[in-house]
Structure 1
Amino acid sequence: MSKQPSFQKLQYDFAAHLRNPAQVPAPGGVEDRRLQIYRDLFYNNIEGFISGGFPVLRSLTSDEKWHRMVRDFFARYRCNTPYFLEISQEFLAYLQQQRQPEQDDLPFMIELAHYEWLELAADTDADSIPSSGFNPQGNLMQGRPLVSPLAYVVSYQYPVHRISADYLPTEQPQVATFLIVYRDRQDEVRFMEINAVTAKLLLLLEEHTDFSGADAVNAVASELPHLDRELVYNGGEQALQSLRQSGIILGTELKQVKV
């Protein structure tokens, strides 16, 4: 069995030390002053990207706890992507899957992290809003509403879009929060708070690619037999119109003509 080349072993030892300098000794023959430059450079780069991706979570976390989390992520988590823009996604995965919860964790920490990551994901999404292939003034009930590819419907147990140093809920609200996070035509990331019915309406349009607006609204109404059907129908139509005014619904899809 061939031995690992000495220069390659030095690289592995060097990388392992940079990841976890507290537990992995530095390779021999390198001045510690020089090593410190690399230790600071690598860690500060990673920490800077994470802080920039989760500004609210960072502001609500003590310095000691924050750096302990980032250090643990840097030392133990194995990223699946080499791209700097996706470090936030990897840190979110670390929080969700690998990090052990602590007693003083904010109860909404994971949800807040997901919301902040989603804002960044919407901002950097390589997709774009189409300029053709739909009728912006089409009848949303008779036609097939076209939802922007840069709109994301999510639900949270906590109102994460309102959380700040001045609003820190300690108990989970009885009613979930439904949001649409989206990027508009001016490339501004925005959010809209919606109710559960509107969220269900959009989910049905995503699941059933042949549904018209009326089909989706009627499907929602059938799931709410205790409510007046006409009231639900009118409310659904108003919701679709409101989503179009906000740019979340672009219009109605143009039917493809078979040749």
Structure 2
Amino acid sequence: MELTQLQKQLSDHVRDPEANPGPADIERRRLDIYRDLFFNTVDGFLCTAFPVTRKLHSDENWRALVRDFMRRHQCASPYFVQLAEEFLEYLNGERDGTAADPPFLIELAHYEWVELALDISTETLPPARPRGQGELPAAVEVSPLAWSLAYQFPVHRIGPEFQPQEADGQPTFLLVYRNREDEVGFIEINAATARLLALLDENAGEIDACIDLLAAEMGVASSAVRGFANELLDQWLSQDILI
């Protein structure tokens, strides 16, 4: 029990040194080194995972954000590669928010996390099947490494020179994917394109049926969208967005 209490005092101090002085029988110099080492490790990983988010914060505000994360959030995973996802959970559920938080903070952080999540995913794709130029199979499958995303802010354009304070009237649709060469790509798409991808996912990838459904939802004849859709599907197959 004494060891458990000592560990609790030490961890409380590491998380929130201002509110918790730490074990009295540990030399202050050693305690400071360990506390700073732990903070700098978490800080460094979050800076790498969320580079744009970091750039938009002053040093003082960023350190306060990292400290608040360490103080409030109980990580469920011991793996550092999952720390970015833990940070997202904190932003969504435990962050009270301050005047320093931009209105797009959660969406921007999610967008930055997606690249890391796809990069470290253990999902694999089957070998590509040979096909002629423009030749489409009867059915396809949406790659598990292709994510269709919708945001209220244009997160892919946000940076130090562009920080919108109000959401756009229309959602921003983005398609993020990892191909067979393990390269992560980003494509801005429109609502119709996002809907076609969703229909393929919902209807076993039956191309003709999905094109007919998309045309019906748009209130046009299938012939009006078939050429555009076939060209898009051919491109997606080449990019490993479809398999």
Is TM > 0.5 for Structure 1 vs Structure 2? Answer: yes
**Which amino acid is the alignment partner of residue 50 of structure 1?**
L
1:173-252 equivalent positions in 2, closer than 5 A:
173-209=168-204, 211-225=205-219, 227-250=220-243
Question: Structure 2 CA distance, aligned partners of 1:124 and 1:195?
Answer: 27
- Is 1:79–2:72 an aligned residue pair? no
| Deviation, structure 1 residue 156 | 0.9
Structure 1 Cα separation of the partners of residues 22 and 100 of structure 2: 33
CA drift of 1:17 comes to 1.2
Q: Deviations over 1:5-29 (max 9, x none)?
A: 2122111111111111110121111
Correspondences of 1:1-259 after superposition (within 5 Å): 5-131=1-127, 134=129, 136-137=131-132, 139-140=135-136, 143-209=138-204, 211-225=205-219, 227-250=220-243
- Which position in structure 2 is the counterpart of 1:255? none
C-alpha RMSD over aligned residues: 1.7
Point out the structure with max Rg over C-alpha: 1
- After TM superposition, the score normalised by the length of structure 1 is 0.88
Which gives a bigger RCO, structure 1 or 2 (Cα 8 Å, sep 6+)? 1
Distance 2:207 2:120 in 1: 30
Query: 1 CA distance for matches of 2:232 and 2:198?
Result: 14
Change over 3 Å in CA distance of 1:97–1:135 after alignment to 2 = farther
Paired with 1:173 and 1:199, the residues of 2 have a C-alpha distance of: 18
Decide which moves more: 183-192 or 42-51. Answer: 183-192
Q: Deviations over 1:72-103 (max 9, x none)?
A: 11111011111100000000110011101223
What is the number of residues matched between the two proteins?
Answer: 242
Q: Distance in 1 between matches of 2:232 and 2:170?
A: 20
**Distance of 2:36 and 2:43 partners within structure 1:** 10
* Structure 2 unaligned regions, length at least 5: none
Choose 42-51 or 99-108, whichever is displaced more. Answer: 99-108
The structure with more helix, counted as a fraction of residues = 2
Q: Which amino acid is the alignment partner of residue 10 of structure 1? A: L
Between the aligned partners of 2:23 and 2:131, the Cα distance in structure 1 is: 64
Structure 1 portions without partners, runs of 5+: 251-259
Secondary structure, in 3 states, of the residue corresponding to 1:12? helix
Question: Which stretch shows the higher mean deviation, 230-239 or 153-162?
Answer: 230-239
- In structure 2, give the amino acid aligned to 1:67: R
TM-score, structure 2 length as denominator? 0.93
